[in-house]
Chain A
Amino acid sequence: MKKQPIPPRWADWLLEVFVAPPLREDVQGDLHEVFYKRTEQEGLSKARREFIWAVLHYINPYFFKARQRTNRQSDYPSPSYLHPAMLRNYLTIALRTLAHNKAYSIINVVGLSIGLAAAMLIILYTKDEVSYDRFHTNNPNLYRITSRDITPGDQKPSYNTNTGIFQGPKFTAGTPEIQSFVRFQSGQSDIRQGNEVKSQEMFSTDPEFFQLFSFPLLSGDPKTALSRPKTVVISEDMAEKQFGTTDALGKIMFIKTEAQFEPYTVTGVAVKCPQNSSIKFDVLLPITVSKEDIARSDNWFSFFLNTFVLVRPNANIKAVEATMNRIYQTDAKNTILEMAKKFGIKSKTIYSLQPLTEMHLSTDLPVNNGLVDESRPTFSYILSGIALFVLLIACINFVNLTVARSLKRAKEIGVRKVVGGGRNQLIIQFLGESFLLCFVAFVLAIVLLLLVLPTFNQLANKALSFAYLLDVKLIAGYIGLFLVTGLLAGFYPAIVLSGFSPVQSLYSRFRFAGRNYLQRGLIVLQFSLASFLIVATLTINSQLNYLTTKSLGYDDRNLVAVNKSSLNHSEARLLKSELMKFPTIVDVAPKNRGFWGTVAKVNGEKQLSFAYETVDEMYLPLLKIPILAGRNFSPDFPSDSTQSVLVNESFVKEAGWKNPIGQEVNFFAYEIPERYKVIGVVKDYHFAALNQKIRPQLFTMKPKNDFGKAFVKIKPHTETESLRAIEQTFKKLFPINPYSYSFLDQDNLKKYESEAKWRQIMLFGAILTIFISCIGLLGLATLAAERRTKEIGIRKVLGASVSSIVQLLSSDFLRLVGFSFVLAFPAAYFAIDKWLENYPYRIEISAWTFALAALLAILIAFFTVSFQSIRAAMSNPVKSLRSE
């Protein structure tokens, strides 16, 4: 047979390129027809030449641009996937499927929205955490002067975030790169408010404060506000409280910084400090440094305030630090030698600069001494982890349920493919559906967020507001989150479902091959995360219980602490004798305020640092602290106050004494060294919080040491009368001192606030995770039960009992949950072990925790699954078998 002649391929190709699709078929057809005719009449080569010539005439814009014209429509149009009609169809189908499967839709949307809300909340939280102190316009050139002491032989340097009066001015004077400095010292002073006297936290600072930091003033000149003595800048809140108006410029406030109340002129009213600021002040005074202090060069060694510096832009910080240390070594040379000789200090101090913005989340160099809101980065990490868990689990649910539900939609996909739906079209459809759900979930998430924000603020000790969300970066972040979630949740179903072969899917015995592994894997992962969190919550809970219920070694019940600054010994005696007149008061014991510490030498040379407590003979009996050896202070021995001390067990151990009574403690650091004899050993008690180890402690009655507070033991259930008595007495004796009291047992509980917060947040996370896992499991169990309706019917007809069917339906899932423990428990063990290392006094990790967690998880899973399986097992087999 003769080979059919064909027109030149390249010309044909050219024709296809240059003639628009709607015209292509008939034009090409006509040309080919002519070509065949001419081949017969004139021969192949002439026909080819004519064909090429003809084709070249089609290369013009008319044919190239020809579009679908009004009355020219292809008989079989193939509209784009995004044709409005198709979009409408997708939407209709999506809404129908959602409405048809209400349970799944709700599970999907609620699960996702909880996940999203958690993620949003955490983004808010972390955003707030990292935004600390970033609002100052002088960033990133603001630094805090910090130092570290390196002792030869010690690996870990000891960090110091505070400085003294010299570092700021001297470093600034000697380092051209440092533009200015601000010292920031916190203190407590009394102010007169109407007829009352109140104790108020105040800060003393340098006049450049408002130039360095961006705290706007409502009124007053930021340049000169603090340049004169006896001036004060107050916050708007303070102005409101003090004067009843924020228009307080030029008004007088009475503040007692030294011995008596003195008038201070208000030279500025500041806008309330931002929530995310480490510096929060209500009252700012100009710092006063006496001439004597400036003259004493050993003030290089007195650290009690924060110093901030403004460094020139682009300055080399390493070089600045080097200059600072050079200045220190030169200026303080003699003092360093002197101190080394006097106190035997071997350590070397090295100054460095810490960027202001790193303060808030620093572990080694935290904020303190007047700077507030100390935070740990771990907190952010853990929270982000939980949010990620929850979001991950919600996504897993979504994928799981959508893929599972696809069993029912296999027919729809088959039909769509048969009538010409392409794979891309199906992918768009399924992705679109997942985005639709995601969008609904997003809206719901925002509503949820608004609902839980107040509670969360309380838990996390924050003042986050929804307005925080309105930030370009965050909105971009949320849109990103939306896209990622929608894509993640829709991607797998879209790809898998669109890959179905129509023949297979229309043939009703269609089964998914690899799907089960994925589904099982995802269930295992979900429950691993959930049981991990259960273990963590249980551990934190028992550790907190341990901390709050462990005996502290003393009796803190019915003890009222009353603060009075510089309470001298005669005042203390007076207070006691006055209070003892009331029948409800058991006894009174004064003590120094806060924690004092000092160093002394024992055994001749050995230096020991310890907590230094000034008490009287009533303190130990009042708190029921036992004395193990020797005796307590006693009025029978008048020399006790000047010659004797008591020490605790840890002190004895550190000192290495076999026979502690009669040993000598040498306070060599005083101007005139003092020596004391140990007359008794006190049983160790937890004078600090339980997350600190018991340190050596020493008790003295030295008359020169003022007390700072008095413990008043009251009879049980007499709080009202006793407090009234204490207040009356206090006001009568010390009318110009602010009165404040607290119950010691409540104070002790407050020390574990951070642990309590941890517990709440962990519990919150665990409940969320479990809840979302469970609704996912519920969805899958429902599907499994539905898929096996006929099987269940036949089993029942053949005599299977309800319990055996429940077992049949539940055992699969429970096995998976059981398997998840294999993954979760080692990880949980590792994590809680690490966490517990933070506590010197901690619980043992017990197998019971894990057993309880496992039991809980299995019970919850069983309950969830049986909810469905019992219903399936109870159903009438007639119904399920008839529905063919």
Chain B
Amino acid sequence: MRRAFLGEFEEIVLLVVAACPAEAYGVTIWEDLQQQTGRSITMSAVHATLYRLEEKGFLSSTMGGATAERGGRRKRFFTLTALGVRALNDVQQVRSRLWQAIPPGKFQLIGG
């Protein structure tokens, strides 16, 4: 099985795309990201990550139709690929396994 190498930011971007109810493109993803994480993120970081994820095959993109509001430029819509879904599942499984491995009561000891 191919291991999914996902960075933290990549994982979040992928999750945002997955969570997006409507068609996801640069601006919506950027806004959701900021909203969800509360961090200030530059647009270029979002774009670079999206394209990289596409190169890795976790995302696919299609160009939409011509638009009126942005100088007629088309939007690039991103959707999750099967590979992307599997990668997210992998990550989640690893995490839940690790969560389960934490001895009960350990957090109370540390956190108080």
Contact = CB atoms under 8 A, between A and B. Distances in A.
Interface in B1-55: 25-27, 30, 42-45, 47-48, 51, 54-55
A32 B69 CA distance: 9
A784 B27 CA distance: 65
A57 B74 contact: no
A71 B57 CA distance: 8
A364 interface: no
Nearest to A32: B70
A26 B66 CA distance: 11
Nearest to A53: B42
B57 A29 contact: no
Nearest to B77: A26
A29 B43 contact: no
Contact of A63 (B44, B57, B67, B74): B44
A33 B47 contact: no
Contacts of B51: 23, 62, 66, 69, 72
A173 interface: no
Contacts of A53: 42
Given A26-B26, A69-B55, A75-B63, A57 B42 contact: yes
A27 B47 contact: yes
Given A34-B43, A54-B42, A29 B74 contact: yes
Contact of A69 (B47, B54, B67, B69): B54
Contacts of B42: 53-54, 57
In this complex, the interface size class of chain B, counting residues with CB under 8 Å from chain A, is 20 to 34
Nearest to B52: A62
A42 interface: no
B73 A29 contact: yes
Q: Which of B51, B55, B74 has the most CB of A within 10 A?
A: B51
A301 interface: no
Nearest to A4: B71
Contacts of A34: 27, 30, 43
Given A29-B74, A71-B54, A62 B43 contact: no
Contact of B25 (A30, A32, A54, A66): A30
A30 B47 contact: yes
A29 B54 contact: no
Interface string A71-88: 110010000000000000
B70 A36 contact: yes
B67 A29 contact: yes
Nearest to B60: A71
Contacts of B76: 25-26
Contact of B70 (A29, A66, A70): A29
Interface string B60-100: 11010001011101111000000000000000000000000
B70 A27 contact: no
A372 B57 CA distance: 83
A31 interface: yes
Contacts of A577: none
A30 B27 contact: yes
B45 A26 contact: no
Contacts of A465: none
Contacts of B43: 30-31, 34, 54, 57
A28 interface: yes
A100 B30 CA distance: 60
B62 to A, nearest CB: 8
Contact of A33 (B55, B60, B69): B69
B74 A62 contact: no
A58 interface: yes
A29 B43 CA distance: 12
A53 B42 CA distance: 9
B101 to A, nearest CB: 37
Contacts of A69: 51, 54-55
10 contacts: A26-B73, A28-B71, A29-B75, A30-B27, A31-B43, A32-B71, A33-B69, A58-B47, A71-B60, A75-B63
Q: Which 5 A-B pairs have the closest CB atoms?
A: A29-B73, A30-B26, A57-B44, A26-B76, A33-B70
Interface of A: 23, 25-34, 36-37, 53-54, 57-58, 60, 62-63, 66, 69-72, 75
Interface of B: 25-27, 30, 42-45, 47-48, 51, 54-55, 57, 60-61, 63, 67, 69-71, 73-76
Given A26-B74, A30-B25, 6 more contacts: A25-B73, A29-B74, A30-B27, A32-B73, A33-B27, A36-B69
